[in-house]
Structures are given as C-alpha cells and as structure tokens.
C-alpha cells in the first residue's frame, strides 16, 4: 500500500546538516510518508549518513547516482520515484516543524482546488539561530488563474513555497525545474496556473542561510551550480521566454492566456534596460569581444515586491 505523502530530498556533499534535516522529517507527527533521498554522487560523508538512516527506518529509500547529473536533474527525478498522491521536496540544509506535514496535509486533502499548501518560512543561520529577515509569503487562493499569476509576480520574494506539499498529478503536468537561472520562479508560476496555493500563517519551515548555500553563491558559482559556466546567459530574455511558454502550455482559457501574456509584455517593458544590456552582450559574444559573465538580475516582479536582487 502506498504512503499518502512522498518526500524527496536531493543532496550533494551535504554531510554538514543532512542528519539534522533527516531527523526533522522522521520526527513528523504525520508518519504516513516515504522519504526518498537522491545522492548526486557525493564525495563527503553523505553516503554513509544516508545508508545508516535507511537501515534504521523502512520509510527511507536511498538512491545514489553513479555520477553527478546536475542539481536540476537530481531535484526532478525524485518526482518520478514518488509513489504517493502528494509530494514534498525537502532540503538537506533546512528543518521543518514537527507538525508541518500534518497541518499541510489536513488542508490540501480537503480542498481539491489546492495544488500546494505550505507555511510561512523562518530564516535561520548556520547555527540554527533565527534571523531577522522575513519572507513576503505566498497565499494565492483567487479563483481566476490570471489573478493568481499576477499576485505571484507582484509578491514573490524567495521561492520557499516549493517546499510545501503538492498534488503529484498537478506537479507532473508541469515541466518542473529547468537548467536556467530562476527556474524555481517559473516552476511556481506554472504550478499556480494549475490551482491555488494556500499558506499556513505560522513559521513551520526553517530555511538555513550559510556560506555554502545556493542563495549565497557568486555569479560564477551560480552559473556552475546550474551547469552554465562558459555559456552566454541572457537571463531576462530567457526568463521572459519561459514565462510566455508556460502560459501557452497551461490548461486555462484562451482569454486567460491572452491576459497573462499581456502581463509578460508589460514586465518586459519594465525590464527594457536589462534586456537591452543583454542584447549588447550578445553582440559582443558574436564579435568575440569580452562581456560580463552575468549582468544585473532583476526578478520577474515589480520593484515594490521586495524580491531579492
């Protein structure tokens, strides 16, 4: 018999916080879940930590990749291995409150219009101490897909909502994460066109900020993280294209698609300086002249949204 929730934990060289992350999952008051760990060919003590935990708890499935397949593929393949009706990603750095699964499951199981339920996120430092920084939250329960998408782009800060519980059937109708910068933003935008997001107004997810976290990477490290080193990156053009395509793919009315595409066009006008700068990079690339590895990155949201730059 399949569990009710599948939890996917991608990891690469995560020995520093991995045991704490696993412990916070196994300690959940809601116990009807499977924990699938995909180890992306780690070279530290990650493998031994995973094997030890899998030997002690039958709910854990440990998958070790023979070679590093990249962060995006390691995230996405966990959805393929999930057997439950609901899915949640977990982070090897982060912690979750003991009642997170119970609280989220109770909400999403009762409302078929919801595709994602998450909680507010508290940021913590390397030692687990709470930080003063707050996220803007993401509660999107409007009936019209266009209204949900517009609100997402207007309010999105960090993509913490991706660590909530999602309906696996809706998740599998998206393209999941792509191998481009800010693909997490596009993922949430695509998913919200399939249904509503509900946010529990309490801090039940604890996201750790430390020197090795992806959110702290330099431009060069960020490109390497996504396997884009040595390639021309037209960040804003790619993000605009991906947002237009996810709208065209969405199972929504033509009128809703037209309104959403107009929103993309308006945001491109707002981003016109950055788009023009990237065209300059393209000309320099074609003519063999040097150009910055990455220009300014402005998220696909309004200036008032408080999105991290």
Question: Are 240 and 292 found together in one domain?
Answer: yes
Do residues 138 and 249 share a domain?
Answer: no
pTM of this structure:
0.91
Q: 47 lies in a domain?
A: yes
User: Is 40 found in the same domain as 169?
Assistant: yes
| 117, two tokens | 């339920």
Would 222 be classed as within a structural domain?
A: no
66 and 179 share one domain? yes
Residue 57 lies in a domain: yes
- Domain end among 189, 216, 243: 216
Please check whether residues 81 and 193 belong to one and the same domain.
yes
Show which of 216, 247, 270 is a domain's final residue: 216
Q: Which of 184, 282, 173 is nearest to 242 (CA)?
A: 184
How many other CB atoms are there within 10 angstroms of residue 287's CB atom?
A: 8
163 in a domain, yes or no?
Answer: yes
Q: How many domains does the chain have?
A: 2
20 found inside a domain:
yes
In this structure, what CATH number is given to the domain that contains residue 148?
A: 3.90.550.10
Per-residue pLDDT of the chain in tens (309 residues, 90 and over written 9): 899 999 999 999 999 999 999 999 999 999 999 999 999 999 999 999 999 999 999 999 999 999 999 999 999 999 999 999 999 999 999 999 999 999 999 999 999 999 999 999 999 999 999 998 878 889 999 999 999 999 999 999 899 999 999 999 999 999 999 999 999 999 999 999 999 999 999 999 999 998 776 666 666 777 777 777 778 889 999 999 999 999 999 999 999 999 999 999 999 999 999 999 999 999 988 998 877 767 666 655 543 333 322
- 3-state secondary structure string across the chain: CCCCEEEEEEECCCCCCHHHHHHHHHCCCCCCEEEEEEECCCCCCHHHHHHHHHHHCCCEEEEECCCCCCHHHHHHHHHHHCCCCEEEECCCCCEECCCHHHHHHHHHCCCCCEEEEEEEEEEECCCCCEEEEECCCCCECCCCHHHHHHHHHHHCCCCHHHHCEEEHHHHHCCCCCCCCCCHHHHHHHHHHCCCEEEEEEEEEEEEECCCCCHHHCCHHHHHHHCCCCCCCCCHHHHHHHHHHHHHHHCCCCHHHHHHHHHHHHHHHHHCHHHHHHHHHHHHHHHCCCCCCCCCCCCCCCCHHHCCCC
Instruction: Give the residue numbers spanning the domain of 146.
Output: 5-216
Residues 37 and 85 in one domain: yes
Note whether 253 and 198 are same-domain residues: no
Are 145 and 188 in the same domain? yes
The answer to whether residue 221 sits within a structural domain is no
């Amino acid at each position: 018999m399949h569990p009710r929730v599948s939890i996917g934990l991608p990891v690469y060289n995560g020995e520093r916080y991995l045991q704490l992350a696993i412990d916070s999952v196994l300690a959940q008051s809601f116990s009807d879940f499977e924990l699938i760990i995909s180890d992306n060919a780690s070279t530290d003590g990650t493998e031994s930590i995973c094997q030890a935990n899998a030997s002690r708890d039958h709910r854990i499935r440990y998958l070790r990749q023979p070679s590093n397949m990249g962060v995006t593929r390691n995230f996405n393949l966990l959805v393929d291995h999930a057997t439950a009706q609901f899915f949640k990603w977990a982070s090897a750095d982060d912690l979750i409150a003991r009642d997170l699964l119970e609280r989220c499951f109770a909400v999403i199981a009762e409302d078929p219009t919801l595709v994602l339920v998450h909680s507010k996120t508290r940021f913590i430092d390397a030692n687990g101490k709470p930080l003063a920084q707050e996220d803007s939250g993401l509660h999107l329960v409007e009936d019209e897909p266009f209204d949900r998408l517009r609100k997402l782009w207007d309010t999105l800060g960090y993509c913490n909502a991706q660590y909530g519980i999602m309906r696996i059937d809706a998740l599998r109708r998206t393209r999941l994460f792509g191998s481009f910068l800010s693909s997490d933003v596009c993922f949430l935008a695509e998913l919200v066109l399939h249904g509503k997001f509900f946010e529990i107004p309490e801090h039940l997810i604890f996201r750790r900020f430390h020197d090795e976290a992806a959110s702290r990477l330099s431009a060069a490290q960020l490109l390497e993280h996504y396997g884009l080193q040595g390639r021309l990156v037209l960040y804003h053009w790619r993000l605009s294209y991906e947002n237009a395509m996810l709208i065209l793919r969405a199972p929504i009315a033509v009128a809703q698609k037209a309104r959403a595409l107009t929103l993309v066009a308006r945001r491109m006008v707002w981003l016109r300086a950055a788009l023009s700068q990237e065209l300059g990079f393209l000309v320099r690339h074609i003519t063999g002249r040097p150009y910055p590895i990455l220009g300014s990155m402005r998220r696909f949201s309004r200036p008032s949204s408080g999105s991290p730059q």
